[in-house]
Structure 1
Amino acid sequence: MKKILVPTDFSETATGALHAAQEIARQSGGTLHLLHVITPVIMPTATLDTTMGYNYSDPAVEQVMTRQLIEQAETQLQELAAASPVPVQTEVRLDQVTAGILETAEQTGAELIVIGSQGEGGTLFGSTHERVVRHSTCPVLSIREAKGRFSPQHIVLATDTEEHTPDIAPAVRQLQQLFGARLHVVTVRTASEAEEHTLQERLRTYAERHHLQDAALHVVTDEDVEEGILHFIDRQRADLVAMTTHGRSALVQLFSGSIAENVIHQGHRPVLTLHIEA
């Protein structure tokens, strides 16, 4: 994880995401790309300034206002970069926010996006976060709270044991090695699922396929997959949760009554996800 993209709206959770990214870069010897995306200012055409005598929809006025926003953001980014304990590149991009983040990730070859899951006031950047998670082609680490130092010691990787390409497991393995964390790989068995010994064998195959070492393998039996995962996370006192997300399985269905959404929005834990198309 040498190239880490950190989008920011300068909110408290975005600051928490920056601190988490700095810890990862410190351990990996990586570099951060700190990004702020500004949507171009477009004033309502009917708005007039009767005192000054010109129309605020004038492109020249919009350009001036946009330039002011860019200069303000550049100053804030430079201040954050100057205080960073790891190398930081900064960028202000004029674009739609989600598109700007995803395109920057592609252009910079980002191996990880670290993003706050709730923006200022709990609105704009929160919805942006959800769209980034859904469409990013690299893993996304979602940070909900800005409390404490990011140093995961108990990682829970929830899986349906199916073979996915790509899969979140390689990113989990890297974080486990960087922080010396204990890894728990878990799947949930419901009444309609295979026998427990079959799932145990699938877990062993999954761990071997992704070269997961020093990992405890768990089959949890529960009436509900989501509740089984959430209860297991609490019992293990996990400080990082990871899953590959797609639309085919109840275990990892994303943002539709999903486990990933509930884990991100109900708890304080960072959540690492990689979304793949069904």
Structure 2
Amino acid sequence: MKTLLVPVDFSKFSEYALEAAANIAHKIGARIVVSHMIGLNDAIFTKDGIQLSEETLYFIKLTEKRFDEFLNKDYLKGVDIVRNVQKFKFFNDLDPVIAQFKVDLIVMGSHGSSGLSEMFVGSNTEKVVRSATVPVLVIKQPWKIKSIKKSVFACDFKKESIQAYLTIKEWCNLIGTKLELLYINLPDPNFRSTTEMEESVKKFFEAIPVTNPKKMAESIIYYNDYSVEEGIFSYANQNRMDLIAIPTHGRTGLAHFFSGSIGEDIANHSELPVLTVKI
């Protein structure tokens, strides 16, 4: 992991993400790309080329000034920082930045969302979690890497989640956190017997090059609750987890409207840091 991307809007939540990224960068020797979306309104794009250039230049200079203040932090000393200004209006337009800088992880601050704002608009963070092609670490409070002692990875242990598990396991190894594996068992019609759950998990680990699939399957924690989200939060709180890791399907359009995504819901509602990997 060599490059971290921190999308910023210069809010306190962006500062939380920047400091978290700095913690990680110091630990693993990564650089940080700090990216800001100027968010030029549609009216500017309808003007002639000269006006567009002049107004764009003004906003870029204003952003550079804000960068100078925002990046004047002691915790960034010794970290390779790359400034990036985009003309895009939304944080979910990050694919060009990810490709240009070969980003390995996005670290993003969030205040979450709820109620009608969540139903109709969602949050920038939710959109990034849904669309990003690389893992996303969501931060909502001041965060220190040394405080991340125990992490929990929750999924249904279907084969489609194997790569997400391997990615999260590698990341947790890099930062030195213990990873616990969690299976949430739900009431009817999704209820599964202990034998069914164990058999599913065993097949999951048999498909991964591990020395002892049976032992790995036996390490899974089975937890009963009324929803996956409630189960993850309850387990994390009861066992004092420091980070939640989860795969996400990244559904879009009508599929997202009707089905949603557990990964995005967890990222929106959890006060703990959340690491998501798109399946």
Structure 1 length-normalised TM: 0.78
Instruction: Return the structure number with greater helix share.
Output: 2
User: AA paired with 1:6?
Assistant: V
* Larger relative contact order, structure 1 or 2 (CA cutoff 8 Å, min sep 6): 2
Say whether 1:170 aligns with 2:163: no
1:20 aligned residue: 20
Aligned to 1:136: 132
Q: Which runs of 5 or more residues in structure 1 are unaligned?
A: 46-56
Confirm whether residue 89 of structure 1 aligns to residue 82 of structure 2: yes
Aligned AA (2:126): E
DSSP 3-state at the match of 2:163: coil
Task: Indicate the residue corresponding to 2:234 in structure 1.
Answer: 231
- Which of 39, 43, 58 aligns to 1:68? It is 58
Q: Distance in 2 between matches of 1:198 and 1:232?
A: 21
Quote the Cα distance in structure 1 between the aligned partners of 2:211 and 2:134: 19
The 1-side partners of 2:209 and 2:122 are apart by: 32
Q: Distance in 1 between matches of 2:90 and 2:103?
A: 17
Equivalent AA in structure 1 for residue 184 of structure 2: V
Structure 2: which amino acid aligns with 1:18? L
SS of aligned partner of 1:168:
helix
**Bigger Cα displacement from structure 2, 188-197 vs 12-21:** 188-197
In angstroms, what is the RMSD of aligned CA positions?
Answer: 3.5
Corresponding position: 1:270 with 2:242:
no
- Counterpart residue number, 2:107: 114
The 3-state SS of whatever aligns with 1:32 is strand
Distance 2:210 2:83 in 1: 35
Q: How does 1:1-278 map to 2 (within 5 A)?
A: 1-43=1-43, 60=50, 63-81=53-71, 83=73, 84-85=76-77, 86-98=79-91, 100-118=93-111, 127-145=123-141, 147-151=142-146, 152-164=148-160, 167-191=163-187, 192-206=190-204, 209=208, 216-246=219-249, 256=259, 258-276=261-279
Supply the distance in 2 between the matched residues of 1:212 and 1:243 (Cα, whole angstroms).
24
Instruction: Specify whether residues 75 and 217 from structure 1 end up closer, same or farther in structure 2 by C-alpha distance, changes over 3 A only.
Output: same
Preserved contact between residue 41 and residue 63 of structure 1 (Cα < 8 Å): no
Report how far residue 36 of structure 1 moved.
0.9
- Looking at structure 2, the residues matched to 143 and 210 of structure 1 have their Cα atoms a distance apart, in angstroms, of 32
8 Å contact 2:126–2:268 — kept in the other structure? no
The number of aligned residues is 258
Residue identity matched to 2:277: L
Question: Percent identity between the aligned chains?
Answer: 29
Residues 101 and 165 of structure 1: CA distance in aligned 2, closer, same or farther (over 3 Å): same
Inter-partner Cα distance in structure 1 for 2:25 and 2:61: 27
Q: What displacement does 1:219 show?
A: 1.0
User: What is the alpha-carbon distance in structure 1 between the residues aligned to residue 143 and residue 274 of structure 2?
Assistant: 15
CA displacement at 1:193 relative to structure 2 = 3.2
Q: Deviations over 1:110-164 (max 9, x none)?
A: 1111112239xx99x973222211111111111122x242441110100110012
| CA–CA separation in structure 2 for the residues paired with 1:263 and 1:140 | 12
Secondary structure in structure 1 of the residue aligned to 2:171: helix
Question: Helix, strand or coil for the counterpart of 1:89?
Answer: strand
Unaligned regions of 5+ residues in structure 2, if any? none
Distance 1:259 1:142 in 2: 14
TM-score by length of 2: 0.78
Partner of 1:51: none
